[in-house]
Structure 1
Amino acid sequence: MSQLDTFLPIVNNLMKQNVNAAGKEQVVIVADLEKEAIGRLMFDSLCKLGYQTDFAVMQTRRRSGEEPPPTIAAIMKAAQICFCICEHSLTHTNARNEASKVGTKVITMPGITMDMFTEGAMQADYAKVEQLTSAFTEKLTNGDTIKIYTGPENEYLLQINIANQMGISSPGIFNGCGASGNLPSGESYIAPILEKSVGEILIDGSIAGIGKVSEPVLLKVRDGRLESASGENGQKLLNLLGDENGRLLAEFGIGTNDKARVTGNILEDEKAYGTIHVALGSNVTFGGTIDAGVHLDCVTLHPTVWIDDELVEFDR
């Protein structure tokens, strides 16, 4: 069986289950040089399924959150459905945000692999993911403070201020015009308030742009700003973030996809049920005020999490 034959039923199901496509929409595939082959396979599948589809390739961005060229931004706005199949994420960019504002459904698939299409998070029951994501998002919206305990003895505490902030659902189902998010998906997240966000968190899963960590990285935060990150991978993270607003606390998220695996690919890692992630950098596209040109997620595998006085329960 050819790759196209394998892809066709997956893409057909994706368009019906996740994108709720009628079949007459104008679709564009935005790929970069790193993911051009997968982008082309997605394009060929959509064409064979009868969708009006265009294909645009750009140079690979240097990091997640970096803006695409103006020509690509314009293409995204012109389509009704846009798939971003790139090495680095366009989710938290102004280009994605502006496309969503004019009604484009923007589905971002940063770092997607062939394996991820056929295994793992893409195989989830997305009705179940949607229900679970909605429940966690409601807790975030109604909360004032998140407390995250990490380490073998829960010795590290990061306290995050979320008072009066709105939780965001990313269940991987895109129904209305302007809907956007990742595929594969499954996360509830929120933009923190920098003031009174303070403490330490042990990152023992993975870091965007780095992969699975060989040893845990301890992040120290004061008033929403990353002050230090331990070890060799911590230094790599600091270098990727730069010295300015990239080091600001941008996001707290909860994974809600029980089929997602932690493999070192942040697209799937941050969706894994039972994990949480914090991100640094931009959040202006989902209720924050930070526009840093970078957004990097850091995944913790088995945290103890409280939202106000309620323990977040994970059925592991």
Structure 2
Amino acid sequence: MTNYIDNAIKVFENNFDLKKDEKVVIITDDSMREVALPFYEAACKKGNETIFSQFPAIYKSGEEPPALIAQAMKDADVALCVTQASLTHTRAKKEAAATGTRIGTMPGMTLSMLEKGAIEADPATIQKLTKYFTELLERSSQVKIEKDGEVLTFSIEGRKGIPSTGIFREKGQAGNVPSGEAYIAPLEDSANGKLIVDGSIAQLGKVDKPVTLSVENGKLVSATEKQGQALLELLGTDEGKTIAEFGIGTNPSARITGVVLEDEKVFGTIHIAFGSNKPFGGITEAGVHIDCVVQEPTVWIDDEKIMEKGKVLDPNLPSV
């Protein structure tokens, strides 16, 4: 486990600039204890006051954690959420960040991911790429995505672009670790068309056969293949089936692994999510948030093609 602990120490130092007198909480569930332990050992090894908080793994991405977990997040200076389903888009995370806690969410993290891949990326490169795409989203209004002949369109007008760099050194900063994405909440009733998902789906893993999603007036109305049906079941209600997020991967070291935490960060991919988006500028509270990753898409923003089959076309893009 020593190598895992050493890399976990690097996360605390590089991503959080952890200070000696800061309190740390490691939040996990029954299915992720083995992956969370190196982070607990790392914080203890650094000499920080640290607690390990574990709860049952019977919840969905975007569902609120137990009240005791939410309170522990508020009481810490740094909280790492090493869980199977995601706590990223929850009120608990948002409220803890508002009190000043620096939060890293690591849904589906594996020991393999702690060794290599997205976690090895140069932080400065991720920060530059993420800033570039966040500013692009912020000043734009319309998005069109094409993949294998199917097209999905939606509006992002008036919504705030969100950077996720995985670097949280100031009070209240929060997001995924490892990271590398720029994302935004589309207008909830604006999406229409079809999208082919061929990367991965949160909680369902790598896509076995490409899944075609059909969206009408912002709602996911149908999905092909077994994983598409499983997605519909995960999302549940109409609120859960509402488009929630459009994201662009900005991590050149990330790989498609079957774990959306890393998959949605792959440079040259985009992802669409359904469900809750109120924590980052939307209006939907659904108790679920599921991301769907698309490889090698062609993307237009305000009628300008910015990506063709996963290759970014803008010559002003910071070098990778």
TM-score after normalising by structure 1: 0.96
In structure 2, distance between residues paired with 1:23 and 1:222: 52
Once the two structures are superposed, residues 173-210 of structure 1 have per-residue CA deviations (whole angstroms, 9 ceiling, x without a partner) of 11211100001100000000023321111001111111
Residue 176 (structure 1) aligned with residue 170 (structure 2)? yes
In structure 1, distance between residues paired with 2:11 and 2:31: 22
Q: Among residues 59, 64, 74, which one is paired with 1:62 in the alignment?
A: 59
Match of 1:42 in 2: 39
Match of 2:26 in 1: 29
SS in 2 for 1:169: strand
For these two proteins, the number of residue pairs brought into alignment is: 310
RMSD of the alignment, in Å? Answer: 1.2
Residue 220 (structure 1) aligned with residue 209 (structure 2)? no
Q: Structure 1 residues 281-290 or 49-58, which shifts more?
A: 49-58
Amino acid at match of 1:259: S
Q: Structure 1 residues 11-20 or 233-242, which shifts more?
A: 11-20
SS in 2 for 1:51: coil
SS in 1 for 2:191: strand
Shift of 1:22: 2.2
Match of 1:74 in 2: 71
Match of 2:251 in 1: 257
Q: Structure 1 residues 282-291 or 304-313, which shifts more?
A: 304-313
Once the two structures are superposed, residues 6-28 of structure 1 have per-residue CA deviations (whole angstroms, 9 ceiling, x without a partner) of 12331222122111222221110
In structure 2, distance between residues paired with 1:269 and 1:303: 14
Amino acid at match of 2:238: E
Amino acid at match of 2:144: K
Shift of 1:223: 1.3
Shift of 1:44: 1.2
In structure 1, distance between residues paired with 2:39 and 2:112: 14
The gaps in structure 1 that reach 5 residues or longer are none
Residue 287 (structure 1) aligned with residue 284 (structure 2)? no
In structure 2, distance between residues paired with 1:259 and 1:61: 32
In structure 1, distance between residues paired with 2:221 and 2:214: 6
Once the two structures are superposed, residues 32-76 of structure 1 have per-residue CA deviations (whole angstroms, 9 ceiling, x without a partner) of 111112222211121012111111111113311111111111111
In structure 2, distance between residues paired with 1:188 and 1:113: 23
Amino acid at match of 1:122: I
Q: Among residues 84, 88, 96, which one is paired with 1:87 in the alignment?
A: 84
The gaps in structure 2 that reach 5 residues or longer are 313-319
Equivalences for residues 287-306 of structure 1 within 5 A: 287-306=281-300
Q: Contact 2:8 / 2:38 at 8 angstroms: preserved in 1?
A: no
In structure 1, distance between residues paired with 2:124 and 2:196: 32
Q: Among residues 2, 8, 12, which one is paired with 1:11 in the alignment?
A: 8
In structure 2, distance between residues paired with 1:241 and 1:195: 17
Match of 1:203 in 2: 197
Q: Among residues 122, 125, 135, which one is paired with 2:122 in the alignment?
A: 125
Q: Contact 1:61 / 1:68 at 8 angstroms: preserved in 2?
A: no
Shift of 1:309: 2.7
Residue 146 (structure 1) aligned with residue 143 (structure 2)? yes
Amino acid at match of 1:234: G
Residue 236 (structure 1) aligned with residue 233 (structure 2)? no
In structure 2, distance between residues paired with 1:121 and 1:142: 28
Amino acid at match of 2:226: E
Once the two structures are superposed, residues 78-131 of structure 1 have per-residue CA deviations (whole angstroms, 9 ceiling, x without a partner) of 111000011110001111111011111111001100000111000100110011
Amino acid at match of 1:84: C
Q: Contact 2:27 / 2:83 at 8 angstroms: preserved in 1?
A: yes
Q: Among residues 93, 96, 110, which one is paired with 1:113 in the alignment?
A: 110
SS in 2 for 1:100: helix
Match of 2:153 in 1: 159
Identity of aligned residues (%): 45
Once the two structures are superposed, residues 116-173 of structure 1 have per-residue CA deviations (whole angstroms, 9 ceiling, x without a partner) of 011100010011001100100000000000110111xxx1110010001110000111
Amino acid at match of 2:131: S
Match of 1:270 in 2: 264
